[in-house]
Amino acid sequence: MKKFSIIVPVYQVEKYIRACVESIFRQGLDDDVFEVIIVNDGSTDHSMQQIADLIGQHSNIIVLEQENQGLSMARNNGMKNANGDYIIFLDSDDLLADNCLKQLMEMTLEQQPDLIVADFEKKDDEAILRYRQQSSAAGGCKTTAKSGKALFMEDLNPRECYVWRTVYRRAFLEENHIRYVPGITYEDTPFTHECYLKATHCLRTNLLLYIYRVGHASITTGMTKKKGMDFSIALAKTWEMTRMEGIDLDVRKRLKDNVFAVFSVLIYAITNEVKDGNERMQVVRHLQQMVPDLNFNHSMKQRCITFLYKRMPGIYIDMKVLFYKLAKRLR
């Protein structure tokens, strides 16, 4: 049995994939401790050729081939084939921090948590080229045991539901039937919320786990009508969790506020980046169909926005477009 399964979906990343895979093997661990599951999601560029020699050098690399189905299905396919005690999701344009898995293994052996939430750093291409491992933990690695509820209430930023900063106990995911919503982008939001809400024993550490590459186009950059539709589905799946049984009132309230934050991001994105007014309204109508009971009422601001969104969506969206245009002119 492997300790870690590192799942790497690959699609059109020939510029970045080699650095990504090389980072996996700078962990101070023998290959028999972990497996690398590379899911080729129908790439048509030279991504797989860029790492062909690495695949040949390491017997713990498993390659899964699938027709292009998107990141969600690639990750689900990786989970289906994983054998490690713990799962790590690594996007193919990013990197693992050097030697982080060795410290994570010590945490899992000692405490067997459902989740370990670690730190990450954002770096552009130039900074990554200069990158040498420097722990972000001043004074050493600090780790705190938390319940899933505490982690949800204290650490979850609904605008940064990055699944790659968390290490998941595979049995926990299996027992709770947690998977990504197929066929959409922004799938991290419902997945992360469900994990935090259902986890029991967790760890929060300031260990640097992940280097997130910024400054280049990715599947989540640039809002379009299609991405707005996907965002609506992710929001709807997260809102469904407000009806879960057995969660405390304060958790339910926080969850609704988190959905409001996600809703605000969606409205901001479509009013700023989707130029066609008809397409903006199609996204709004789609959201209304997906979540007919969407209702925010924890403040006067939320109640006013809910009223406008439900009763006068066209006026609401036009007002937001005008507001952001004026704000840009005044900068």
- Tens-binned pLDDT, residue by residue, of the chain (331 aa): 799 999 999 999 999 999 999 999 999 999 999 999 999 999 999 999 999 999 999 999 999 999 999 999 999 999 999 999 999 999 999 999 999 999 999 999 989 999 999 999 999 998 888 875 454 444 578 999 999 999 999 999 999 999 999 999 999 999 999 999 999 989 999 999 999 999 999 999 999 999 999 987 655 568 999 999 999 999 999 999 999 999 999 999 999 999 999 999 999 999 999 999 999 999 999 999 999 999 999 999 999 999 999 999 999 999 999 988 888 788 7
Cβ 184 vs Cβ 72: under 8 Å: yes
What is the number of domains present in the chain? 2
Tell me: do 60 and 104 sit in the same domain: yes
Q: Please give the residue range of the domain that contains residue 289.
A: 225-330
Tell me: do 187 and 280 sit in the same domain: no
Distance CA(230)–CA(232), nearest Å, equals 5
> In this predicted structure, what is the pLDDT of residue 106?
92
Tell me: do 133 and 205 sit in the same domain: yes
> In this predicted structure, what is the pLDDT of residue 136?
45
SS3 category, 115: strand
Domain boundary residue, one of 169, 188, 213: 213
* Residue 36 is assigned to a structural domain of this protein: yes
Tell me: do 242 and 207 sit in the same domain: no
> In this predicted structure, what is the pLDDT of residue 324?
86
Q: Where do runs of H (alpha helix) occur along the chain?
A: 17-24, 47-50, 52-57, 71-80, 100-111, 125-130, 148-155, 170-175, 188-198, 225-240, 249-273, 277-290, 300-311, 313-330
Tell me: do 13 and 153 sit in the same domain: yes
> In this predicted structure, what is the pLDDT of residue 328?
79
- With vertex at residue 263, the alpha carbon angle to CA 258 and CA 265, rounded to the nearest 5 degrees, is 100
Cβ 123 vs Cβ 212: under 8 Å: yes
Distance between first and last Cα of the chain: 57
Tell me: do 97 and 233 sit in the same domain: no
Q: What is the pTM of this model?
A: 0.93
* Residue 218 is assigned to a structural domain of this protein: no
Distance CA(203)–CA(30), nearest Å, equals 24
Tell me: do 144 and 276 sit in the same domain: no
